[in-house]
Amino acid sequence: MKDCEYQQISPGAAPPPASPGARRPGPAAPPGPGPGPPPPAAAPRWSSSGSGSGSLGRRPRRKWEVFPGRNRFYCGGRLMLAGHGGVFALTLLLILTTTVLFFVFDCPFLARQLTLAIPIIAAILFFFVMSCLLQTSFTDPGILPRATVCEAAALEKQIDNTGSSTYRPPPRTREVMINGQMVKLKYCFTCKMFRPPRTSHCSVCDNCVERFDHHCPWVGNCVGRRNYRFFYAFILSLSFLTAFIFACVVTHLTLRSQGSNFLSTLKETPASVLELVICFFSIWSILGLSGFHTYLVASNLTTNEDIKGSWSSKRGGEASVNPYSHKSVITNCCAVLCGPLPPSLIDRRGFVQADTVLPSPIRSDEPACGAKPDASMVLASPLGNQIGLSTQVACFPAFDRRQAESGRRAGPPPCVSPTDT
């Protein structure tokens, strides 16, 4: 039964035919000053609550409002951040505090005594650092959409319809060949799919991230394929900015202490002392992090692969060759930092549509899966064409009508899942 029915009555429509025994109405009365015809009804407003085909009186919701991960969205879904933002706020506070104190208390003295280039260089470095930080924090790191309802239901149906006590569930790993190296693909029980190569599930954000490097609380986001270049530029430029401010503050204090006691100079400039302390304790970790990621970029590795020892003997295993390395430092740097930025695979700004029920037996003139991939927020399908794999493996294989006809006779589930191939 439909949720609600609407009937439109035309003023000029003929009255329905009267029954044979009914009395005929008399002549119509002349028009008087009575009320006119009722105003037309307003157009219904549809709701996106997901119950039924639509309700009245509510605005449609966008997909970022029902996103399954633990991310937070701002500006109508245009910006995204991890669920916790306290450490990210601390990062902003430290950078802004140190830079503002430097411009207020150190730059005027250094510009008069030395050169005007000091505040100009500091301003350029500061704006570049903030730009890279915000791009790293608010950019989609490469989140892969979860399996659709159709694919997840097909997998469950395949497991439940065996009817055999000796049945073993399908294997949760697969192996693919990449540049002569065997790579394992693990199954993600949360996203209901086999993860593509170099993809890992972040336990903090609860998303599968392509080319997952690590989750960085200092930037408030995962670092993956789509924002790694911004993260590397951020830590590298922050190293230069911290070292520059540290050197300028030391120069400022040295020039001020000429002809007087150094301790009295420190008492006269408490802001410079605070900058000196912040930069001194920050520069070592920032420089070490920049050097470590420079090594990873030159080797075409990720932090996740380096910690797990995927292509080395760190955990006592047999060392293997990194299949993603181009055997050249320059080529690896260009591949990691200068390649085209892939598009986001999640549609955050799209509208949530009504839930689509899975079809019962498939007819030859219908598509294999009746459910649209709204819940998984897929921009395009199949997913294998979006992530650019060269392994001839698609996470969600297509389903043609010949397979539907043969499958209807044999009895497998109507929708193909990642474990059907």
Would you say residue 254 lies in a domain? yes
Would you say residue 103 lies in a domain? yes
CA distances from 196 to 112, 193, 209, 307 (A): 58, 9, 10, 19
Whether residue 285 sits in one domain with residue 157: no
Would you say residue 421 lies in a domain? no
Domain limit, last residue, from 337, 369, 397 = 337
Would you say residue 317 lies in a domain? yes
| pTM score of the predicted model | 0.69
DSSP 358-371: PPSSPPTTS-S--S
Whether residue 268 sits in one domain with residue 301: yes
- Residue 48: the pLDDT is 40
Question: Helix, strand, or coil here: 95?
Answer: helix
Would you say residue 212 lies in a domain? no
- Residue 245: the pLDDT is 96
pLDDT tens, residue order, the chain (421 aa): 444 443 444 444 444 444 444 455 445 445 545 555 555 554 444 444 444 444 455 778 887 888 888 888 888 888 888 877 789 999 999 999 999 999 999 999 999 989 999 999 999 999 999 999 999 999 999 999 988 888 777 766 765 665 555 555 556 778 888 888 888 888 888 888 888 999 999 989 899 999 999 999 999 999 999 999 999 999 999 999 999 999 999 999 988 888 777 788 888 888 999 999 999 999 999 999 999 999 999 999 999 999 988 777 666 556 678 889 888 999 999 999 998 999 988 888 878 876 544 333 333 343 434 333 343 344 433 344 433 433 333 343 333 433 444 444 444 444 434 434 3
Whether residue 300 sits in one domain with residue 221: yes
Would you say residue 203 lies in a domain? no
- Name the active-site residue from 107, 202, 205, 216: 216
First to last CA, the chain: 39
DSSP 140-157: ---EEPPPPHHHHHHHHH
Would you say residue 396 lies in a domain? yes
Would you say residue 22 lies in a domain? no
Whether residue 387 sits in one domain with residue 331: no
Whether residue 234 sits in one domain with residue 317: yes
Whether residue 266 sits in one domain with residue 127: yes
Residue pair 153/159 in contact by the 8 Å Cβ criterion: no
Domain limit, last residue, from 337, 369, 392 = 337
The answer to whether the Cα torsion of 218, 133, 241, 106 is positive or negative is negative
Identity of residue 297: V
Whether residue 311 sits in one domain with residue 299: yes
- Residue 354: the pLDDT is 64
Whether residue 229 sits in one domain with residue 98: yes
Query: Hey, what long-range contacts does 220-223 have (CB within 8 A, 24 or more apart)?
Result: 220/81, 220/82, 220/84, 220/85, 220/87, 220/88, 220/91, 220/137, 221/80, 221/81, 221/82, 221/136, 221/137, 221/138, 221/139, 221/141, 222/82, 222/141, 222/143, 223/136, 223/141, 223/303
Tokens encoding 225: 């394929």
Whether residue 391 sits in one domain with residue 269: no
Pseudo-torsion of CA 266, 270, 271, 272, nearest 10°? 10
Q: What is the DSSP letter of 64?
A: G
Q: Using CA atoms, how far apart are residues 379 and 225, in angstroms rounded to an integer?
A: 17
Q: How many domains does the chain have?
A: 2
Whether residue 275 sits in one domain with residue 322: yes
Question: Could you tell me the residue range of the domain that residue 368 belongs to?
Answer: 147-161+169-189+356-410
Q: Please confirm, yes or no, whether 216 is among the known catalytic residues.
A: yes
Whether residue 298 sits in one domain with residue 258: yes
CA distances from 93 to 17, 307, 376 (A): 80, 30, 36
Whether residue 182 sits in one domain with residue 245: no
